[in-house]
Structure 1
Amino acid sequence: GLRYEFGLFRQEIVGREQREHPDAWNAHGSPWLVERPDEACLVPAYGSVVDTLGHDGESHPMWLGWKLIVGVPYDMPVVGYGGKTVNVLRLFAARAPNEIDMATFNSGDYVRAVEQNIATETLSKVLYPSDDVPAGRELRLLQEYFLVACAVRDVLRRIEREGGMPEDLPKRFALQMNDTHPALAVAEVMRVMVDEQRLPWEEAWALTQSTFGYTNHTLMPEALERWPVPLFEKVLPRHLQVIYEINSRFLDQVRSRWPGDLSRIQKMSLIDEANPKHVRMANLCVVGSHAVNGVAAIHSELVRTRLIPEFAEMWPEKFSNKTNGVTPRRWILQANPALAALLDRRIGKGWVTRLELTDALAAQADDPDLQQETLAIKRANKDRLARVVLSTTGIAIDPDSLFDVQIKRIHEYKRQLLNLLHVAWLYLHISEDGARLPQPRTVIISGKAAPSYRVAKQVIHLANAMSAVIERDPRVREQLRLVFIPDYRVSLAERIVPAAELSEQISTAGMEASGTGNMKLSMNGAITIGTLDGANIEIADAVGPEGVFVFGLTVPEVEAHVRSGSYQPRRHVEEDPRLRRVLDAISGDRFAAGPREMFGDLVARLLHHDPYFVLADFSSYLDAQDRAANARLDSKGWARKMILNTARMGRFSSDRTIREYATEIWRVAPVN
């Protein structure tokens, strides 16, 4: 990884809107992060490529005029449970070479003499620089290259140190690309093997494919990177040549198998020929790997059939599923010690490393004592979270209310807006219709929006505006609270997850690859309300229909609408007066404190486009919410659902996931 100086960002809510502040995660240093300057890597970038005549009489490309970046490694020990295994997380920081332009310095232009050093060290300053501007895109590309170049050099140096040869790479290491951000590793390994190690192309390509695996984590376009060829040529001229050669040889294979199929060639090419041309990094990952997988059963199927079907047809043996998992050591043992102690007493301590053993708890789901203890643990965790909410937002929430939780990155496809439409309906139903809810409800939302994602930031603004209106209305706030907890992060999640009762997993069907928050929440006894998307499907299968509340369009139904163009958002408004009232309230001044807080454009986007089918699922979502609210009135039945969720999460342990990668993709065995 990269040793960033500043993390994603620290989120603050100012005037009900998100504000980003630098997150200096290591401002005070860490005794565990050890610098290794003696193992620094030298990474070239920029420059140009010229053809030179080699000793063999053949023409060879030579990369000249490059600028050098120094990658200094820092090692962080990662101690396994029980302390018997210690792995090392190696993070690289960018440093400039120990030199400045002395001629420029001596001429009196002191700033320009050191500006290259400053620019170089900016490389690992900030995690995920904005790519809305050309300089940000260039920095992002350079970051991704710097990461993989340091990793490849480090790996090859370890092989050499152990007496091996570069050709031993696939025998000694498995390199797994998570999404397309490290896709340049394919081109970098090929460049090193061909240019520096002088291996024949065919041999270099065989060992490259044997080394790499590719995990696709999302079907969303932003994760399937495409880099403009002019930018690529500026920053990494030799790598672009390598990619063009990979593409040429690959397309020869495609033409051989499907002669004359120009449409297939255009789809499978590593280069999008539009103006300007772009390098398709996902295609590079697939071509350069021996294994490709998704992270939930439905997601892996969509990767094969919707995202890259031509590649799956060419290499069906490459494709598999590896459903995500989460570690019970953090998400139960550390985050919820009372639940961990209960499991120890009821089924023994083996569940910590073999989560499938929790299945034995299912047979005890009707035990009144277990139900009471489960409810008491949840209540204590809710008390703890209520104190966090009060200290961070100033809002006093009722621990006896239903804690309805949605915690994840703010994105349109994750549909926090659908959640807010439901809250708006409850508000109107109470304030205008005099309704009484089955029990008080506290809706808790937390998550960050990308700094340049305007719509997502509007959703955060709306959530905080609605919260303020509810807090001012005593008729409503005794039954309904809405809190947005700022600065979502792991340590905050460790407080929210054990306290959640209803787990909002409401993404548009076919949009969420897997999700892991759904697993963390279910492990801790939260009941899922969700669409048949990502790992929700497998959670519903594990827990059974009584342990989840399912709603909404299915993947085939969404795909049918997309293919036919038949979706008409306004029809749902015409057919459901509740939805009309909610949209009128949001687009009007009901939740607006002034002209700046008008949310009409959010509503207009739903009415005219609604790409994530929010309005289509509104009615079904409200029905599922009613079922959940009524189910919670039966405390024994609700406790049974909680127990079954915890009991049947064994398959969602990260231990299972890692075993599958190790045995089926990396071909490695346990050390003991």
Structure 2
Amino acid sequence: MNITKEKILSDLKKVAMIMFTKEFVDTSKEDQYKIFATVIKGYLSENWLEKNENYRIGKEKQVYYFSLEFLLGKMTCTNIINLGLEELCMEVMDELGLDFKGFDKYDAEPGLGNGGLGRLAACFLDSMASIGIPGHGCGIRYDYGLFEQKIVNGEQIEGPDNWLKNGFVWETKKSHQSKRIKFYGDITLKELGGCLTPVHTGYETILAVPYDVPIVGYKNKVVNNLRLWKAQIEGNDFDFNSFSYGTFSELDEKKRNAEAISKLLYPDDTTESGRLLRLKQEYFFVSAGLQSIVDYNSKKGITPNEFPNTFSIQINDTHPALCVAEFMRILIDEKKVYWDEAWEITKEVMSYTNHTILTEAMEKWEIDKVQQLIPRVYMIIEEINRRFCDEVYQKYDDWDRVMEVAIIKDRLINMAHLAIVGSHSINGVSKLHTEVLTKKVLKNFYELYPERFNNKTNGITHRRWLLKSNKALTTLIDEMIGSSWKDDPNLLEKLTEFSEDKNFCEKIEGIKLENKKKLAELIWQETGIEVDINSIFDTHVKRLHGYKRQLLNILHIIYLYREILENKDFTMHPKTFIFSAKAAPGYYLAKRIIKLINSVGKLINNDDRINKFIKVIFIPNYSVSKAQIIIPGSDLSEQISTVGMEASGTSNMKFMMNGALTIGTLDGANVEIKEAVGGENIFIFGLNYKELKEIEKKQSYNPIKFLKENPKINKIVEMLRDGTFGGDFSSIYSHLVDEDRYFVLKDFNSYLETHKKIDGIYRDRDRWNSMVVKNIAKSGHFSSDNTIRKYAEEIWKI
């Protein structure tokens, strides 16, 4: 398609007339955004239609990425960039006297994810489209995202994230491709055609309605698909008679129960009803997605034995682990495939990505819930478990060993075990994470199936996290090494030769300063606090969890507070400590840490003796769009998780790509970042994994003893319960003193000394800037394009 400025102007005029019966210039700013986005959607839809048709008539293998989260971020500007229309659109905006950036506030930010898991899924979809792999996403179209976070009196307050309130231009409803999902009921075996056949009766049907979202490849005419499923009741959803009499009927109750499935990302699973709803969600999108894939391939004339050559399914964490049993159900009950063949097909099609070594984070479902909600699927899980346990017993003749790997144990179904047994590939997401899985957490499975285990270190898409988020840096890189790196981010390596180029480094520093001004403006808008852009912007943004150790960070800030007050000779380069994070609504400790950060910040920010050295900022309601301002404007990236607990991390990669240096433990992908940039260009502190495991083995760490031996640290911990911060933080105090399972105190001294080292290096601008350039140069290594190529070659065989 030949798109020109004149064509865009003409199409804006036509679409404005169709949508609003007005001239484009006479519509509201919000309507102008909708018109503009609709025009752009029209351009990409031609490629979308063509690519879908090519997939439909061809036999090219396709990939389906099943994930409960897809944290996409705002899509309009990214789609314009990937279509190669950015300059044209800027010209059109200039001619119409419009602010291109002003449209951003009307661009819906899909509330389809929480943190790294969902953002990774979004980066992977972007990479699949951009390197030309036919890969699609499958998830849920939540009416409301995780929650909208507000900070009131320092406390996190959750409200509805109504991201769909003004519509979502980028989705297309496909009602004719809806699927029926069966819940509850009874299974009886009846003789049909000489075979005992399971018959499902008395079930409740929920309709899964698909909404498709285009995933646009970078300047390559590829448009793949993210299919999101919405739940509703089948047939008439309105009882006219009851409503007209002012009453509610059984139909109204059914409608509410059905729609609840796709109402909210992560309902509270601390309650029985919340857990049941979560299980419903997981089966709902798994069943809808698999039915859709099987129907699509069957219509192409592909038989079940050909499925492994036609499509692959990637299970992203344990949420979609029911894929294994549901696919077996479809093959056996609907496609009439015998068990043994169906099992081989399933294993060849399925692959599983593990994202955690925390056993409590690996889902387990009560037998009673699964048996009640999806009785036929439970029967299949039970049979998979029986056959698997028999296989293991035949190999080891050891029932204890069987129980260590059983899918069903103590009346619980271990979903990670189901995913492992039913997949041909199990991958970790960083070298250390995979090593921990194979040597400890999943050691028994590794001994059973060593050929199935592999590592695929996570990655990020430079198209959003550099091209979109940091245009000035993008332009400078183009000037220095050309623009080919946009297609091959590994070419960023060429920047290494400029790491000692003072002129180039000064330009990098100037871009960072401008980005810090933008971040300072965001901080002012969100908090009303003015910050010094010449201070070190020290940033800790990610999901709030004990193992991510925001607590270690704030304890260090409290330490600095005391030092400034008590030590007249104390000096430091001014620092602005920036936090942003959401805590799960039911996670009490995490919510108290948010309160502590805000309470410490209030005390420090209002004390003129202290705030010339440090300020503490908490930016509420962390999101992709805020990250796109925060990350380019940061000097220092806090990646300080307890070693061995962060599977990979991807914010560490985003920060290095935007010229922030990392302070972190040798955890997750930090290990590989250190290997890439060299130990002299990253700030590593704390225990390594072997040291921590040795301490756990010997039980040699005693927090109380540690505090007695470290009186300065003991004083700051005591401040948690002496009222200094205007609140009672005794629960955090007890967490540290009674268990300190995340080794916050153990790593404190090392963390403190490393921060002192950073302070000195930052003052040496030439050295700091050289380190920044080396980090940017090596960041292309962590492109999700590289990661996806490895998935494609080694797992999907595509």
Residue aligning to 2:260: 122
Take 1:538 and 1:183, find their aligned partners in 2: how far apart are those partners? 29
Cα-to-partner distance string for 1:594-647 (whole Å, 9 max, x where unaligned)? xxx211220121011000000100001101111111110100000011001001
User: Is 2:649 the partner of 1:523?
Assistant: no
- 1:265 match: 402
Q: Which residue of 2 aligns with 1:311?
A: 445
Are the equivalent residues in 1 in contact too, given 2:239–2:252 (CA < 8 A)?
A: no
Give 1:365 shift: 0.6
Which residue pairs with 2:185 in the alignment? 47
SS across alignment from 2:516: helix
Which 4+ residue blocks in structure 1 deviate beyond 6 angstroms?
Answer: 100-104, 106-109
Which residue of 2 is the match for residue 640 of structure 1? 770
User: Across the two proteins, how many residue pairs are aligned to each other?
Assistant: 659
Matched residue of 1:333: which SS? helix
Q: Is the Cα–Cα contact under 8 Å of residues 97 and 117 in structure 1 kept in the other structure?
A: no
Matched, 1:68 2:205: yes
Are 1:5 and 2:143 counterparts? Answer: yes
Q: Pick which of 264-273 and 180-189 moved more.
A: 264-273
Matches within 5 A, 1:182-221: 182-221=320-359
157-166 or 340-349, which moves further after superposition?
157-166
Is this contact kept in 2: 1:408–1:447, CA < 8 A? yes
SS at match of 2:276: helix
1:389 aligns with 2:523: yes
Q: Bigger shift: 91-100 or 638-647?
A: 91-100
The equivalences for 1:325-474 within 5 A come to 325-474=459-608
Q: What's the TM-score once normalised by structure 1's chain length?
A: 0.96
Once the two structures are TM-superposed, the CA of residue 662 in structure 1 deviates from its matched residue by: 0.3
Match of 2:761 in 1: 631
Q: TM-score, normalization: structure 2?
A: 0.81
Q: Deviations over 1:538-563 (max 9, x none)?
A: 00110101111111111112222223
Correspondence 1:178 to 2:316? yes
Distance in 2, matches of 1:103 and 1:485, equals 47
Q: Which runs of 5+ in 1 are unaligned?
A: none
Mapping 1:158-177, distance limit 5 Å = 158-177=296-315
- Once the 2 structures are TM-superposed, how far is the Cα of residue 222 of structure 1 from its aligned partner? 4.4
1:659 is aligned to: 789
Whichever residue aligns with residue 645 of structure 1, its letter is N
Which amino acid in structure 2 is aligned with residue 111 of structure 1?
A: S
Any conservation in 2 of the 1:148–1:188 contact (CA below 8 Å)? yes
1:618 and 2:756 matched: no
Q: Deviation of residue 162 (structure 1)?
A: 1.5
Which residue of the partner structure matches residue 619 of structure 2? 485
**8 Å CA contact 1:46, 1:235 repeated in 2:** yes
1:83-122 matches, within 5 Å, as 84-99=221-236, 110-122=248-260
* Aligned mates of 2:214, 2:365 — CA distance in 1: 35
Distance in 2 (CA, whole Å) between partners of 1:195 and 1:253 is 24
For 2:712 and 2:720, how far apart are their aligned partners in 1? 13
From the superposition, tell whether residues 263 and 103 of structure 1 become closer, same or farther in structure 2 (CA, over 3 Å). Answer: farther
Structure 2 unmatched ranges of 5 or more: 1-138
- AA at the equivalent of 1:588: D
Cα 1:171/1:386, change in 2 over 3 Å = same
Offset, 1:650: 2.0
Per-residue deviation at 1:432?
Answer: 2.3
Displacement of 1:439 in angstroms is 0.9
Residues 438, 633 of structure 1: 8 Å contact kept: no
Aligned partner of 1:603 in structure 2 is 733
The corresponding residue for 2:108 is: none
Percent identical? 41
Residues 380-426 of structure 1 show CA distances to partners (whole Å, capped at 9, x for unaligned) of 10011001001100110100000101010000000000000100001
Distance in 1 between residues matched to 2:517 and 2:480, nearest whole Å: 24
Partner of 2:214: 77
The one-letter code of the counterpart of 1:182 is: P
SS at match of 2:745: helix
Q: Does 2:355 match 1:225?
A: no
Contact 2:589–2:731 under 8 Å retained in 1: no
Question: AA paired with 1:215?
Answer: T
Cα distance, 1:207 vs structure 2:
0.3
SS in 2 for 1:20: strand
In structure 2, what residue type is equivalent to 1:540? Answer: K
Rounded to whole Å, the distance in 2 between the matches of 1:517 and 1:587 is: 33
Q: Structure 1 residues 356, 103: closer, same or farther in 2, change over 3 A?
A: closer
Q: Secondary structure at the match of 2:249?
A: helix
Which sits farther off after the overlay, 396-405 or 559-568? Answer: 559-568
Query: How has the CA–CA distance of structure 1 residues 278 and 222 changed in structure 2, closer, same or farther, with 3 Å as cutoff?
Result: same
RMSD of aligned residue pairs (Cα, Å): 1.6
Question: Deviation of residue 117 (structure 1)?
Answer: 1.9
- DSSP 3-state at the match of 1:263: helix
Shift in alpha-carbon separation, 1:636–1:48, aligned structure 2, 3 A: same
Q: Cα distance, 1:578 vs. partner?
A: 2.1
Distance in 2 of aligned mates of 1:125 and 1:103: 24
Maintained 8 Å contact 2:304/2:345: no
Contact in 2 for aligned 1:70/1:94 (Cα 8 Å): yes
The more displaced of 390-399 and 157-166 is 157-166
What do the CA deviations read for 1:521-550 (whole angstroms, capped 9, x no partner)? 011111111000000000011010111111
